[in-house]
């Protein structure tokens, strides 16, 4: 029987690459993002290329109760989800105190509240059924404080910690939970975050979203708790573990200028 994966933020970047990865593995899809036209275009592409069926749900997951609305729509369409992919997220560059409060609150809601609610709503179904997968897209930013992107890094630390906990909690119920931690990736993220002129961008080579998707899918199927993408990113996460904590934030701050 063909399995179905629900992917948030599926219209671009890592989400789009994950949709193609799952489709290539024979999964049917529920594609979720704000832009209906792009979702429908993607669904047609995936049908033509891989022969899979896709349902499109256009919704802004940064809005209150959006997780419940999405879950209700899935139930209304009588869809059984086998894998939840929490990819939708956002970040904004700038000093914390200069960020508009409404933007910060929407970021927190999307990156934390909606993700947590979806994990609970679908995770409970998976647990009761005795099988299922949850793939949460965190970031290498989860491992370090982020002066200049303080809220984004903090939310990704939450996603990583939650994913590790759920990996342990749900393992006995037959549910696999994996946190994917990519570094800078080819996507719309940097355009929207306003990081184009940062010093750090001079030294960064963006990883193809397709590579992130392939590695994340493989880690999920292997039952890994966490996957960090890229040799340099793995080295960074290991190195920062051993540096004095008082050093790390100032080092990041110097790069985020």
Cα–Cα distances (Å) from 8 to 25, 35, 41, 89, 115, in that order, read 18, 12, 16, 9, 10
Indicate which residue of 152, 158, 203, 217 is catalytic. 152
State how far the Cα of 145 lies from the Cα of 96, in Å rounded to an integer: 13
- Asked if 123 contacts 170 with a C-beta cutoff of 8 angstroms, the reply is yes
Which residues contact residue 195 at a Cβ distance below 8 angstroms, ignoring those fewer than 6 apart? 93, 149, 201
Residue 3: CB atoms within 10 Å: 16
Beta bridge partners, 114, equal none
State how far the Cα of 140 lies from the Cα of 236, in Å rounded to an integer: 8
State how far the Cα of 138 lies from the Cα of 166, in Å rounded to an integer: 14
State how far the Cα of 118 lies from the Cα of 24, in Å rounded to an integer: 24
Query: Which H helix or E strand runs over 170?
Result: helix 150-170
* Residue 152 among the catalytic residues: yes
Catalytic positions, written as ranges: 152
């Amino acid at each position: 029987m063909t399995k179905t994966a629900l992917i948030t933020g599926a219209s671009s970047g890592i989400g789009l690459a994950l949709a193609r990865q799952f489709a290539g593995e024979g999964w049917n899809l529920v594609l979720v993002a704000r832009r209906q036209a792009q979702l429908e275009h993607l669904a047609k592409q995936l049908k033509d290329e891989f022969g899979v069926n896709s349902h499109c749900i256009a919704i802004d997951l940064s809005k209150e109760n959006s997780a419940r609305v999405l879950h209700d729509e899935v139930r209304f369409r009588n869809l059984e989800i086998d894998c939840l992919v929490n990819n939708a997220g956002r970040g904004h560059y700038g000093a914390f105190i200069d960020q508009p409060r409404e933007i910060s609150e929407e970021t927190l809601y999307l990156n934390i509240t909606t993700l947590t609610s979806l994990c609970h709503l679908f995770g409970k179904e998976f647990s009761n059924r005795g099988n299922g997968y949850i793939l949460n897209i965190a970031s290498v930013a989860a491992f370090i404080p982020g002066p200049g992107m303080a809220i984004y890094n903090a939310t990704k630390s939450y996603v990583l910690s939650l994913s590790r906990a759920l990996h342990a909690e749900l393992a006995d119920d037959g549910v696999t939970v994996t946190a994917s931690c990519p570094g800078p990736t080819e996507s719309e993220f940097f355009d929207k975050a306003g990081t184009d002129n940062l010093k750090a961008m001079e030294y960064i080579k963006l990883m193809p979203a397709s590579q992130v998707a392939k590695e994340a899918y493989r880690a999920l199927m292997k039952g890994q708790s966490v996957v960090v993408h890229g040799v340099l990113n793995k080295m960074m996460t290991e190195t920062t573990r051993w540096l004095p904590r008082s050093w790390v934030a100032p080092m990041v701050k110097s790069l985020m200028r």
